[in-house]
């Protein structure tokens, strides 16, 4: 998911602070479905897990502006241009909103941004794939926002109040994006043969990376059990992935394009689709920084940050001059 | 030129200004100095795209030949675009883009204000809607000009150079040609001389507050309004129009 890097293991969070009584009381509140708020006591590991998860989520929103932003100047109608720009703006807004939620846990946005720019912090692997044809914009809305929703709807009930509340608002917008993306593809699929081929090409390239968004198989996922106990996570990676496949395959059928998986078939007994093996080596490579666009995405962010330094400095200098003038 | 044709052409100028500036602004997406600015830029660009769509649709209505917003935006050639040269200039750095924005919007705000009082109901309605957006943009860009001008030594120097460099493109806004004159006479449209005075007053005030020096009027570039563009516009259109041109007549 947007926070799939979490599943890669983290030594820091193995340490837990607090007395056994504190920890028991904390777990009791969680079990009673109470929301934990910023000022409440919480185990250090809980706090760190959330910081990592929320900041990765925020970084994903911000980096995610790039692959879609790539088509802004080339959108084939003014209406599509406006829809795409509004979507990209929403994603930036999600980033801002999530950084604020993470800040309630005692980390600054500057620190989070520094971690992203240095390559220390992760973001979703999905945004390291290129958008090479116009249908990719539809595929991202349909599949990427669609996969994000699968994960984020349960997060609306996350035990940490500020994150849960952020997710409620974010989810509304993501489902809007998902519908718009699907509608874009539907228009192409009802259009000319060339347009339909664009849609098929996009599905071919985005299908597997979308499935990877849910993170490793449950057997490989290192953090799931603790996150489940803390009610940060409600469903396992594989459960969510299965839910996504079940919904999405039928949507692809309605579009009239085919999912690029020869092993995909409906299991009549369970009512679920079974699907082929994900290329986990590709997943590991992309998470490790070796995807088609990792370098480009990070460099663009670094450049924006360094190009903007004189601007931020000027704003700060002006603000202090103003403060000094007001005091005089 | 007939009065009807003048109104169509004038409306297309307004549309082209909004579209070409928004096209430059969206080139800046994911490159802002901070996230708040990222959102503001996208927001303002969205306003301009919205305005362009309204103006294009209105021009199509006036023309009555079945052309819609996308026909105007994607199927016209460079010499049919009649945006100001200022707006097609490359983005440069944050200060360059900001100064372009500031100088244009200071003009555009007054222009829209005048149009809300014109006797053409269609234009007046669009102008009344757009002016609310543009007034807000003006405040934003003025504040940034002051921050940069009165910020650090470096930012002061940078933005002064931006102002000096782009100044040559401001003259065109106020030179009334046949179409501007027709609009003023036929529909009680904007008086560009009066707008220049208002623009100068506003620009001088903000430039002074920003501790910057107002450039001296020297040679001024012109021709954009009449379809004579700089080398930059062709590339912008090639990029913007390529899908529509590659697959003409399709629905997107
Ligand atoms: Fe988002
Ligand atoms: Fe989204």
Q: Is the pLDDT of residue A233 over 60?
A: yes
Of A78, A88, A195, the CB nearest to B53: A78
Output the DSSP codes for A27-60. HHHHHTTPPB-TTS---HHHHHHHHHHHHHHHHH
The predicted-structure confidence for A25-40, as pLDDT tens digits, reads as follows 999 999 999 999 999 9
The residues, ordered by sequence, that sit 6+ positions from A176 with a Cβ below 8 Å of its Cβ are: none
Our measurement of the distance from residue A156's CA atom to the centroid of its chain's CA atoms, rounded to an integer in Å, reads: 14
If you search the block for the tokens 């911000």, which residue do you land on? A62
Query: How would residue B114 be classed by pLDDT, with cut points 50, 70 and 90?
Result: very high
| B74 touching chain A per CB within 8 A | yes
Question: Number of folded domains in chain B?
Answer: 1
Q: Which residues contact A90 (CB under 8 A, 6 or more apart)?
A: A173, A177
Q: Is B223 left (phi over 0), alpha (psi -120 to 50) or beta?
A: left
Domain membership of residue B98 (yes or no) is yes
Give the model's confidence band at A222: pLDDT under 50 very low, under 70 low, under 90 confident, else very high: confident
Q: Which residues of B touch A117 (CB under 8 A)?
A: none
Relative to the alpha carbon of A145, which ligand is closest? 2
Count Cβ atoms below 10 Å from residue A37 Cβ, excluding itself. Answer: 11
| CA–CA–CA angle B153, B157, B162 (5° rounding) | 145
How would DSSP label each residue in A125-194? GGGGS---STHHHHHIIIIIIHHHHHHHHHHTT-SBHHHHHHHHHHHHHHHHHHHHHHHHHHHHHTS-HH
A226 or A75, greater pLDDT: A75
- For chain B, what percent of residues have pLDDT higher than 70? 100
Grade residue B1 by pLDDT with cuts at 50, 70 and 90: confident
pLDDT in tens, B185-243: 999 999 999 999 999 999 999 999 999 999 999 999 999 999 999 999 999 999 999 99
Q: Is residue B220 part of a domain?
A: no
Q: How far is the CA of A291 from the centre of ligand 1 (A)?
A: 21
Dihedral of CA A206/A207/A209/A213: which sign? positive
Give the structural domain span for B52: 3-214+228-246
CA distance A95 to chain B (A): 8
Query: What is the ipTM, given to two decimal places?
Result: 0.97
Average pLDDT over residues B138-166: 98
User: What does the mean pLDDT of chain B come to?
Assistant: 97
Which of A58, A73, A301, A309 to substitute to test the interface with B, most B CBs within 10 Å?
A: A73
Residue owning tokens 């007395």: A19
The total of other beta-carbon atoms located within 10 Å of residue A105's CB is 19
Q: Taking CB atoms and an 8 Å cutoff, what residues of chain B touch A82?
A: 46, 49-50, 53
Predicted confidence at residue B227, as pLDDT, reads: 98
CB contact set of B5 (below 8 Å; sequence gap of 6+) = none
Inside any domain, residue B223:
no
The model's confidence at residue A13, banded by pLDDT at 50, 70 and 90, is very low
**Out of B30, B242, B251, closest to residue A69 by CB:** B30
Return the residue matching tokens 């629905």.
B251
Q: Is the residue at B222 inside a domain?
A: no
Task: Classify residue B217 as exposed, middle or buried by CB count within 10 Å of its CB (0-12, 13-18, 19+).
Answer: exposed
Look at residue A221 in the predicted model and tell me its pLDDT: 81
Closest CA to A132 of A198, A57, A223, A217: A198
Nearest one of A171, A133, A168 to A150, comparing CA atoms: A171
Judged against a pLDDT cut of 70, whether residue A286 lies above it is answered with yes
Ligand 2 centroid to Cα of residue A92, in Å, is 9
Q: Could B53 and A310 be called an inter-chain contact, meaning their C-beta atoms sit closer than 8 Å?
A: no
| Whole-angstrom distance, CA of residue B214 vs CA of residue B201 | 11
pLDDT tens figures, B58-108: 999 999 999 999 999 999 999 999 999 999 999 999 999 999 999 999 999
Residue B235 lies in a domain: yes
Domain containing B164 — which CATH number?
1.20.1260.10
Residue A5 reports pLDDT greater than 90 = no
Helix B192-209 and helix B121-149: axis angle, to 10°? 20
Is the CB of residue B237 less than 8 Å from the CB of residue B81? yes
Q: Check if B143 contacts A (Cβ < 8 Å).
A: no
Name the burial class of residue A278, with classes exposed (0-12), middle (13-18) and buried (19+) by CB atoms within 10 angstroms of its CB: middle
Q: Within 10 A of A208 (CB to CB), how many other CB atoms are there?
A: 18
Cβ A232 vs Cβ A158: under 8 Å:
yes
Residue B221 lies in a domain: no
Give pLDDT tens digits for A121-138.
999 999 999 999 999 999
Mean pLDDT, residues A222-226 taken together: 81
The mean pLDDT of chain A is 94
Residues measured by CB to lie within 5 Å of ligand 2, the ion: A 145, 174, 177
In B192-244, DSSP assigns E strands to none
The answer to whether the predicted template modeling score (pTM) of the entire model surpasses 0.80 is: yes
B251 lies in some domain: no
- CB distance A114 to A302 below 8 Å: no
Contacts of B46 in chain A (CB under 8 A): 82, 85-86, 89
CA A81 – CA A307 distance, rounded (Å)? 26
Distance from CA of B195 to the nearest CA of A (A): 30
Yes or no, beta carbons of A318 and B240 under 8 Å apart:
no
Token readout for A172 is 């509304």
- Give me the pLDDT at residue B137, please: 97
Most A-contacting residue of B23, B29, B101, B240 (CB-CB within 10 A), to test interface: B29
Contact residues, chain A, for B29 at CB < 8 Å: 65, 69, 72, 85, 88
Is B33 in Cβ contact with A96 (below 8 Å)?
no
| Minimal Cβ distance to B34: which of A192, A312, A318 | A312
When scoring A65, A71, A76 by the number of chain B Cβ atoms within 10 A, the one with the most, hence best to mutate, is: A76
Quickly state the pLDDT bin for A328 (edges 50, 70, 90): confident
* Residue A9 binned pLDDT confidence (cut-offs 50, 70, 90): very low
In this prediction, residues B114-136 reach a mean pLDDT of: 98
Contact residues on chain A for B101, CB-CB shorter than 8 A:
none
Q: What is the pLDDT of residue B210?
A: 98
pLDDT at A18: 87
pLDDT digits (tens, 9 = 90+) for A49-82: 999 999 999 999 999 999 999 999 999 999 999 9
**Cβ contact A308–B38 (<8 Å):** no
**In this complex, do B70 and A95 lie within 8 Å of one another by their Cβ atoms?**
no
- What is the per-residue pLDDT for A6? 55
């Amino acid at each position: 998911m947007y926070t799939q890097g979490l599943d890669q293991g983290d030594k820091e969070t193995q340490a837990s602070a607090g007395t056994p009584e504190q920890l028991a009381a904390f777990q009791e509140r969680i079990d009673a479905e109470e929301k934990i708020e910023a000022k409440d006591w919480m185990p250090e590991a809980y706090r760190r897990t959330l910081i990592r998860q929320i900041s990765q989520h925020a970084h994903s929103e911000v980096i995610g502006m790039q692959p879609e932003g790539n088509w802004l100047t080339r959108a084939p109608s003014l209406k599509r241009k406006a829809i795409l720009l509004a979507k990209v703006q929403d994603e930036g807004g999600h980033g801002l909103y999530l950084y604020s939620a993470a800040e309630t846990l005692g980390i600054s946005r500057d620190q989070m941004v520094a971690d992203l720019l240095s390559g220390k912090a992760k973001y979703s692997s999905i945004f390291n794939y290129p958008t090479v044809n116009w249908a990719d914009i539809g595929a991202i809305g349909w599949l990427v926002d669609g996969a994000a929703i699968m994960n984020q709807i349960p997060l609306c009930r996350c035990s940490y109040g500020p994150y849960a509340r952020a997710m409620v608002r974010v989810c509304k917008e993501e489902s809007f994006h998902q519908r718009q993306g699907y509608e874009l593809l539907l228009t192409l699929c009802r259009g000319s043969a060339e347009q339909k081929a664009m849609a098929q090409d996009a599905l071919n390239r985005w299908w597997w990376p979308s499935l990877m968004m849910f993170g490793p198989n449950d057997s490989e996922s290192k953090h799931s059990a603790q996150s489940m106990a803390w009610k940060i996570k409600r469903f396992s990676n594989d459960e969510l992935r299965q839910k996504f496949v079940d919904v999405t395959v039928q949507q692809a059928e309605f579009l009239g394009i085919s999912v690029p998986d020869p092993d995909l078939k409906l299991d009549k007994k369970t009512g679920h689709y079974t699907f082929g093996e994900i290329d986990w080596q590709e997943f590991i490579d992309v998470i490790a920084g070796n995807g088609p666009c990792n370098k480009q995405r990070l460099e663009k962010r670094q450049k924006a940050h360094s190009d903007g330094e004189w601007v931020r400095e000027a704003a700060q200098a002006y603000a202090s001059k103003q403060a000094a003038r007001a005091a005089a | 030129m007939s009065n009807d044709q003048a109104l169509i052409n004038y409306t297309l100028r307004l549309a082209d200004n909004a579209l070409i500036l928004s096209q430059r602004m969206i080139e800046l997406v994911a490159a802002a100095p901070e996230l708040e600015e990222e959102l503001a830029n996208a927001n303002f660009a969205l306003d301009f795209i919205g305005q362009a769509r309204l103006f294009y649709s209105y021009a199509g209505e006036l023309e009555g030949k079945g052309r819609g917003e996308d026909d105007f935006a994607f199927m016209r050639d460079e010499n049919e675009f009649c945006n100001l040269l200022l707006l097609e200039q490359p983005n440069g750095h944050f200060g360059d883009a900001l100064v372009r924005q500031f100088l244009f919007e200071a003009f555009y705000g007054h222009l829209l204000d005048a149009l809300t009082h014109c006797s053409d109901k269609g234009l007046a309605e669009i102008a009344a809607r757009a002016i609310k957006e543009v007034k807000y943009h003006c405040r934003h860009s003025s504040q940034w000009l002051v921050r940069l001008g009165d910020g650090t030594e470096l930012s002061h120097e940078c933005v002064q150079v931006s102002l000096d460099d782009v100044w040559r493109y401001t003259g065109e806004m106020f030179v009334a040609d046949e179409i501007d004159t027709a609009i003023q006479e036929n529909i009680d449209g904007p008086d560009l001389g009066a707008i220049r005075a208002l623009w100068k007053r506003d620009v001088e005030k903000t430039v002074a507050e920003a501790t910057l020096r107002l450039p001296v009027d020297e040679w001024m570039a012109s021709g954009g309004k009449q379809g004579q563009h700089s080398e930059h516009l062709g590339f912008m259109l090639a990029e913007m129009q390529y899908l529509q041109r590659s697959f003409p007549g399709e629905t997107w």
